[in-house]
Chains A and B, each alone.
Chain A
């Protein structure tokens, strides 16, 4: 197959959305009850609450002329499934995910943790992750990659 034009002059990224549902409670044990409540409001309610998270994963790389793909979706899906969906879906982020034993599971911190877990994906370069916590708020993290936030 011909490769078409080389990717010179442009950069192509592949984005894929995943969904998982999880609960969390925003609480910093280093702060007093009052401070926690003032800071986190109802997100500090003692038994936690849940969200349907939407995770967007963006990877970049050369488009393989033989397949037309940056990365085979089945491989990306399998990796995300193993690294993120399996450990996070229908779990309590505070109780079931070791990384949040000492870190408040805000969606900012969730972005950082998910980026860390997905970074080793061997078939393409992880550019950034974006997490929608609700339809009204979302967070993005690109690690220390200066081109991660394309502008």
Chain B
């Protein structure tokens, strides 16, 4: 099996706010991420696809196809958007790195027909990232 990774970057704004929390609780839990008008990041997304290289093309999947999927599913949806208000898939969720990575996994997984989506890694900053993997058939669950 070979893993192929493609990286893209997008810029977006967000804020963390749970309407079920009091203003004080929001501030305590989310800190400056709760600032009312939001703030932004340059997100870096790494998408890894696993598969066997095709004997004819030598490719796990055609990078052009992957690029087009990422453009359609991620860039057009999220780039230069306010994630809380403009991305319906995130409606009702706090747009943390974890939740955005999960949404990106859910968007990409059904679209990747050659090879299999192996990992979605989303960097919110160089020092903070979330990874999504497929749960193993053996039912590996985070505790």
Chain A residues proximal to chain B, CB less than 8 Å: 1-5, 7-18, 58, 60-63, 65-70, 72-74, 125, 147, 150
Contact = CB atoms under 8 A, between A and B. Distances in A.
A105 B130 CA distance: 29
Contacts of A11: 132-135, 140-142
A2 to B, nearest CB: 4
B133 A150 contact: yes
B110 to A, nearest CB: 11
A8 B135 contact: yes
B93 interface: yes
Interface string B99-143: 101110110000000000001010000111111111110001111
Given A7-B142, A61-B142, A125-B142, A68 B130 contact: no
Contact of A67 (B19, B29, B106, B127): B29
A107 B96 CA distance: 32
Contacts of A70: 98, 130
B23 interface: no
Given A7-B102, A68-B98, 12 more contacts: A7-B142, A11-B132, A11-B134, A12-B132, A14-B130, A14-B131, A16-B127, A63-B102, A67-B29, A70-B130, A72-B29, A150-B133
B38 to A, nearest CB: 14
Contact of A147 (B19, B98, B103, B136): B136
Contacts of A7: 102, 142
Nearest to A8: B135
Interface of B: 16, 18-21, 29-31, 92-99, 101-103, 105-106, 119, 121, 126-136, 140-143
Contact of A12 (B95, B130, B136, B140): B130
Given A1-B19, A4-B102, A10 B127 contact: no
Contacts of B102: 4-5, 7, 10, 12, 63
Given A7-B102, A68-B96, A74-B31, A58 B131 contact: yes
A2 B92 contact: yes
Nearest to A63: B98
Contacts of A67: 16, 18, 29-30, 94, 96
Contacts of B101: 12
B135 A60 contact: no
